[in-house]
Amino acid sequence: MRREQEFIDDLYTRVDALRGGTEASVTDALAQGSTPMQARLERDVLVAERSGLLAALNAVDGSLCFGRIDLATGPAPDGDGAGPGGPVHHIGRIGIRADDAERTPVLIDWRAPVARPFYLATGHTPMGLRRRRHITTEGRTVTALHDEILDLGDRRRTGHEDPTGDAVLLAALDSARTGRMSDIVQTIQAEQDRIIRAPHRGVLVVEGGPGTGKTAVALHRAAYLLYEHRELLARRAVLIVGPNPAFLGYIGEVLPSLGETGVLLATVGELYPGVRATASDTPAAAAVKGRADMADVLAAVVRDRQALPDPVIAVEHDRDVLMLDAGLVRVARERTRALGLPHNVAREHFEGHILNTLTDMLAERIGTDPFDGTNLLDPSDITQIRDDLADNPGVWSAVDRLWPRVTPRRLVADFLAAPDAHLSPADADAVRRTVTRAWTTADVPLLDEAAELLGEDDRVTRAAAEQERDRQVAYAQGVLDVSYASRTYEFEDLDAEDAEVLSAHDIIDAERMAERHEEDDHRSAAERAAADRTWAFGHIIVDEAQELSPMAWRLLMRRSPTRSMTLVGDPAQTAEAAGTGSWADILRPYVDDRWEHARLAVNYRTPSEIMDVAAAVPRAERPDFEPPGSVRSTGVRPWARESSDLPGAVEKAVAELTPVEGRLGVIAPRELHGPLAARLGGVVAGEEPDLTRRVVLLDPRQAKGLEFDAVLVAEPGRFGTSDLYVALTRATQTLGIVHTEPLPAPLAAALAQTA
């Protein structure tokens, strides 16, 4: 252990020096101020690279090194277990190199190919290893070593051998929860490693029951892909979509702990820039809004905005009145629709058709010879008439009535206020909302669909940008003129040879000077992606993917034109009314059958005693249901208590179950949260629970993807099958149930059988 501590001390000495040098280089670069173009570009690249390195070093400060592999052949190692054998490689969360000329690796990044045997080697297939060592640290102090002998013919021992090879994994599984997910980089199992390192092109579906580590695998896959395809994914960013804000907070520290800080984490309700879903829908409303045919409904709503006169629109121009009737406007509308452009973008073409129609009408009226019917106007006269009409406010008032500019928020809000023309009476009643002060998660895909159908008429934006550009060029020209005038005055008494000295006016023009002084966008790719609805991500990871509606999938597929995605979920846990429990149904419209499927079959979270009870719930509806197999048993069986005083029973059970270390999750129907929070004291009920508290109150939807040392389920009879299955499988140690109403029959039978 002494030699490992010496290595750790040396490693952190290097890290501290690297961190200090990185901070200094960033500070020096930013202090350079205005520089020539090439130097400025080099400075910005340096700042971006070093800032990313500094963020990674700061995020991965603790437990930087966690393992070592000893190769079976090569030069003798210098360390614990020294003797004939091969070189050793220390494995860590990020890679560190020496500052020598060869840039010798000091610490191997866990994602590097040379580190892979640490996760896959066995005694049967040692992959060239003699020994695998797990190094446990607290801060910068080595606290434990666990060795696994992989070369079964090697008789040397260090005194740190782990006979089963499972000590580190089981210690991690039994450790107290903190309210934040930690990485599993030290304990990645072989089946998980194969998924983490799978090729990133195309769609990979990772399916697994509760506790199989789906989310952890997905997050480590994101870190691996960013390592393996850094240039592409750092530029295009990786998007991770979670089911709710509490879940994103729960997983938010995993990727930074692996040195990755440039990933965008969001819920579906946060994927429309400028909107954050804070309101809730009824299950019926969410189901209607999430249906695939809502895309057709919104398209029809947009077409309704492309109106016809009823019966005519009169446009006054000078002393004439021009009549736009339904027939004339219909021709203009159909010609515009035939272009297939989004509504707001197509408006420019509709305007042109209407102006041409009015121009022809007026030209025929004022330019026709009354004797022979010929038109006496030449092309310049026609152009002048059109220009005059274009300056007529009455023309634009007519266009606004017939083809108005519409924003996505206005379109969706108007539709929800009056949906009757496009939905059945029952569906219209479900989604009707006359006042839209807050948006729901199910509204966000509708907003995104509306934005796609409407497009953006950017003529005003382009005109403003051009005006600002002209202003900057004019300012730059003024600076150059002043420079030229000063040079002329300074050198007017010099001879011709001395006067050949160049000034700024000689080597740069105003346009290039303006370009140099444009403000740089120093935002990360993830920050820019969050503000851009049309951003195309390099890779998208979706957790609890089975819960997303068809409309939500349309939104996500727009963000991934290359269809590079990892989808994580469990159809058995589908609870949302708009969710799609079949992977084939989700993916068929986008990739047909061109997707890969991987399954995780081992439950690392839930003890077998709890899993036996929980599995009975879905098995009552699906007799062939097989849960993932638990790797451990605690000997503590789940229990249930009936009481006439539910808040009192919950209060008593919480006092019994609250662990000395770790977290207790109380999972109850949402309507009971108020009374329970009032009785428990200090426990907060809300949309976004604080998972770092010792006792957390949630409903099953909020508990998805989370885990607690102990769980108390209240009134399970009010939960649906999937919600109850989720609630029963969140505990790593202990499960209790309190109820006043009868237990669901499958749960009652399973509890009786284990008693």
Residue 687's pLDDT is what?
Answer: 74
513 compared with 602, residue with greater pLDDT: 602
Whose CA is closest to 211, among 745, 671, 725, 755? 725
Residue 152's pLDDT is what?
Answer: 76
Give the gyration radius of the chain's Cα atoms: 34
Average pLDDT on 48-77 reads: 73
Predicted confidence (pLDDT) at residue 318 exceeds the cutoff of 80 = yes
pTM: 0.84
Cα separation, 120 vs 124, whole angstroms: 11
* Range of lowest pLDDT (155-159, 307-311, 742-746): 155-159
Predicted confidence (pLDDT) at residue 5 exceeds the cutoff of 80 = yes
Average pLDDT on 59-66 reads: 78
- Give the mean pLDDT of the chain: 86
Residue 231's pLDDT is what?
Answer: 86
Residue 368 CB burial class (10 angstroms; 0-12, 13-18, ≥19): middle
Helix (H) or strand (E) holding 565: strand 565-569
* Range of lowest pLDDT (56-65, 66-75, 172-181): 56-65
- Look up residue 646 and give its two tokens: 């539910």
Query: Would you place residue 31 in the very low, low, confident or very high pLDDT band (cuts 50, 70, 90)?
Result: low
Q: Give the contacts of 459 (CB within 8 A, at least 6 positions apart).
A: 348
Query: Would you place residue 83 in the very low, low, confident or very high pLDDT band (cuts 50, 70, 90)?
Result: very low
Predicted confidence (pLDDT) at residue 340 exceeds the cutoff of 90 = yes
728 and 595 in contact (C-beta within 8 Å)? Answer: no
DSSP 156: -
485 compared with 77, residue with greater pLDDT: 485
Residue 366's pLDDT is what?
Answer: 84
Average pLDDT on 48-69 reads: 75
Residue 264's pLDDT is what?
Answer: 95
Residue 163's pLDDT is what?
Answer: 73
Whose CA is closest to 459, among 328, 351, 573, 357? 351
How many CB atoms neighbour CB 448 within 10 A?
Answer: 24
Give residue-wise pLDDT tens across range 492-548.
555 555 545 445 555 566 666 556 555 556 688 899 999 999 999 999 999 999 999
Residue 76's pLDDT is what?
Answer: 45
Q: Percentage of the chain surpassing pLDDT 70? A: 86
Cα separation, 182 vs 710, whole angstroms: 18
DSSP 53: H
Residue 509's pLDDT is what?
Answer: 67
Give residue-wise pLDDT tens across range 242-252.
998 889 999 99
* Range of lowest pLDDT (72-81, 86-95, 427-436, 651-660): 72-81
Average pLDDT on 459-465 reads: 62
Predicted confidence (pLDDT) at residue 81 exceeds the cutoff of 50 = no
Average pLDDT on 41-46 reads: 55
Following DSSP, what letter does each residue of 434-473 receive, concatenated? S--SS-BTTHHHHHHHHHHHH---THHHHHHHHHHHHHHH
Residue 154's pLDDT is what?
Answer: 77
Average pLDDT on 58-83 reads: 70
Residue 332's pLDDT is what?
Answer: 96
Average pLDDT on 225-247 reads: 91
Residue 82's pLDDT is what?
Answer: 46
Residue 423's pLDDT is what?
Answer: 97
* Range of lowest pLDDT (89-103, 418-432, 720-734): 89-103
Residue 57's pLDDT is what?
Answer: 73
Q: Percentage of the chain surpassing pLDDT 90? A: 59
Give residue-wise pLDDT tens across range 650-700.
999 999 998 878 999 999 999 999 999 999 988 887 778 889 899 999 999
Residue 78's pLDDT is what?
Answer: 47
Residue 650's pLDDT is what?
Answer: 95
Average pLDDT on 288-305 reads: 97
Please state, in angstroms and as integers, the Cα–Cα distance from residue 59 to each residue in 213, 237, 248, 261, 468, following that order. Answer: 22, 19, 17, 8, 41
Predicted confidence (pLDDT) at residue 487 exceeds the cutoff of 70 = no
